[in-house]
Amino acid sequence: MFIALGIGFAVQATQYTMGTAARMGPGYFPFWLGIVLSLMGALVLLTSLAKTAAETTVSRFDFRILLLVIGSVLVYAFALRFLGLYISIFLLVIISSLASHEFNWKVAVANGLFLVTFSYVAFIRGLGLIFPLWPSFLGN
């Protein structure tokens, strides 16, 4: 599956301008992401065929986990405009972390704070994207 998706993304990305590493076009990132995904899929395939590979079983499907992960993305999508980037990302991390069988509040809060900081540095400062940072009712 990873190999097929990776190749599909890489092939589709060739329809866009590639550019160079210094001046990336719209097809550059999806192309290389597809290549890396395909390579990772090949690595997973090869290690699963090894004689030392452990046999695993798939447990019962847990719809609670699915709803928490998809729900967290929906909360983020609808909350971004009203609550701003900081609170929306923090909610995304906390809600999706509830899906883990090893949920820990301290880890979830630390991950949320890290992702908020990283998003600010990468997207706001680094790329100059414009997002509402704070809730709209605060007047920003």
Q: What is the pTM of this model?
A: 0.62
Q: How far apart are CA 127 and CA 55, in angstroms?
A: 44
24 phi, psi to nearest 5 deg: -70, 140
Q: Where are the domains of the chain?
A: 1-49, 63-124
> What would the two tokens of residue 78 be?
């609808």
Q: Environment class of residue 97 by beta-carbon count within 10 Å: exposed (0-12), middle (13-18) or buried (19+)?
A: buried
Rg over CA atoms, the chain: 19
Tens digits of pLDDT across the chain (140 residues): 999 999 999 999 999 988 887 888 888 889 999 999 999 999 999 988 888 878 888 788 889 999 999 999 999 999 988 898 899 999 999 999 999 888 899 999 999 999 999 999 988 888 887 877 888 777 65
